[in-house]
Copies of this chain bind each other. A is one copy, B any other.
Amino acid sequence: MFKLVPIHQNISVTFQYQIQFTNNVFNLKNPTLAQVITEDGEKKPKKVVAVVDAELLEYFPRLLKELVAYTQFYAEILTLPVEPMIVPAGEAAKNDPKLVDQIHQLIDTGRLCRHSYILAVGGGAVLDLVGYAAATAHRGIRLVRIPTTVLAQNDSGVGVKNGINAFGKKNFLGTFAPPYAVINDSAFLTTLSDRDWRSGIAEAVKVSLIKDANFFDFIHKNTAALVRREMDIMQQLIHFCAQLHLEHIANSGDPFEMGSSRPLDFGHWAAHKLEHLTDYSLRHGEAVAIGIALDTTYSYLIGLLSRSQWQTILNTLSALGFSLYVPELAEQSSQLEHPRCLFRGLTEFQEHLGGELTITLLQGIGSKIEVHEVDLSLYRQAISLLREFIEKSQTLLTAS
Query: How close is A5's CB to chain B, nearest CB, in angstroms?
Result: 8
A7→B23 contact, CB < 8 A: no
List, in ascending order, chain B residues with CB within 8 A of A258's CB: 15, 114, 140
Q: Is A271 an interface residue, CB under 8 A from the partner?
A: no
Q: Is A115 an interface residue, CB under 8 A from the partner?
A: yes
A352→B113 contact, CB < 8 A: yes
Q: Is A281 an interface residue, CB under 8 A from the partner?
A: no
Query: How close is A268's CB to chain B, nearest CB, in angstroms?
Result: 15
Q: Is A353 an interface residue, CB under 8 A from the partner?
A: yes
Q: Is A232 an interface residue, CB under 8 A from the partner?
A: yes
Assuming the contacts A169-B108, A232-B2, asked whether A356 and B246 have C-beta atoms less than 8 A apart, the reply is no
Copies per complex of this chain: 2
Select which of B9, B15, B160, B353 is within 8 A of A114 by beta carbon.
Answer: B353
Assuming the contacts A10-B16, A15-B13, A232-B1, asked whether A111 and B351 have C-beta atoms less than 8 A apart, the reply is yes
Q: Is A218 an interface residue, CB under 8 A from the partner?
A: no
B19→A6 contact, CB < 8 A: yes
Assuming the contacts A21-B6, A113-B355, A139-B175, asked whether A255 and B11 have C-beta atoms less than 8 A apart, the reply is yes
Query: How close is A147's CB to chain B, nearest CB, in angstroms?
Result: 13
Select which of B6, B166, B171 is within 8 A of A18 by beta carbon.
Answer: B6
List, in ascending order, chain B residues with CB within 8 A of A152's CB: none
Residue among A113, A158, A258 facing the most chain B CB atoms (10 A cut-off)? A258
Closest to A243 in B: B7
User: With A and B bound together, what is the CA distance between A4 and B9 in angstroms?
Assistant: 41
Select which of B169, B175, B257 is within 8 A of A136 by beta carbon.
Answer: B175
B175→A163 contact, CB < 8 A: no
The digit string for A147-162, where 1 denotes a CB below 8 A from any CB of B, is 0000000000010110
List, in ascending order, chain B residues with CB within 8 A of A135's CB: 175
A160→B18 contact, CB < 8 A: no
Q: Is A231 an interface residue, CB under 8 A from the partner?
A: yes
The digit string for A98-118, where 1 denotes a CB below 8 A from any CB of B, is 000000110010010111100
List, in ascending order, chain B residues with CB within 8 A of A167's CB: 104-105, 108
User: With A and B bound together, what is the CA distance between A11 and B250 in angstroms?
Assistant: 5
Assuming the contacts A174-B136, A175-B140, asked whether A14 and B7 have C-beta atoms less than 8 A apart, the reply is no
B8→A16 contact, CB < 8 A: yes
Q: Is A354 an interface residue, CB under 8 A from the partner?
A: yes
Query: How close is A168's CB to chain B, nearest CB, in angstroms?
Result: 9
List, in ascending order, chain B residues with CB within 8 A of A11's CB: 14-16, 160, 178, 249-250, 255
User: With A and B bound together, what is the CA distance between A177 and B61 in angstroms?
Assistant: 40
B23→A6 contact, CB < 8 A: no
Assuming the contacts A7-B242, A113-B354, A352-B113, asked whether A104 and B14 have C-beta atoms less than 8 A apart, the reply is no
A→B interface (CB under 8 Å)? 1-21, 23, 42-43, 104-105, 108, 111, 113-116, 132, 135-140, 158, 160-161, 163, 166-167, 169, 171-178, 186, 231-232, 235-236, 239, 242-243, 246, 249-250, 255-258, 350-356
Give me 16 A-to-B residue pairs in the complex whose CB atoms sit less than 8 angstroms apart, sorted by A's number.
A1-B235, A4-B239, A7-B18, A7-B242, A11-B14, A11-B15, A11-B160, A12-B13, A13-B255, A113-B352, A115-B355, A132-B136, A137-B173, A139-B171, A140-B176, A175-B175
- Pairs of residues from A and B, 3 with the lowest C-beta to C-beta distance, nearest first: A114-B354, A115-B354, A113-B354
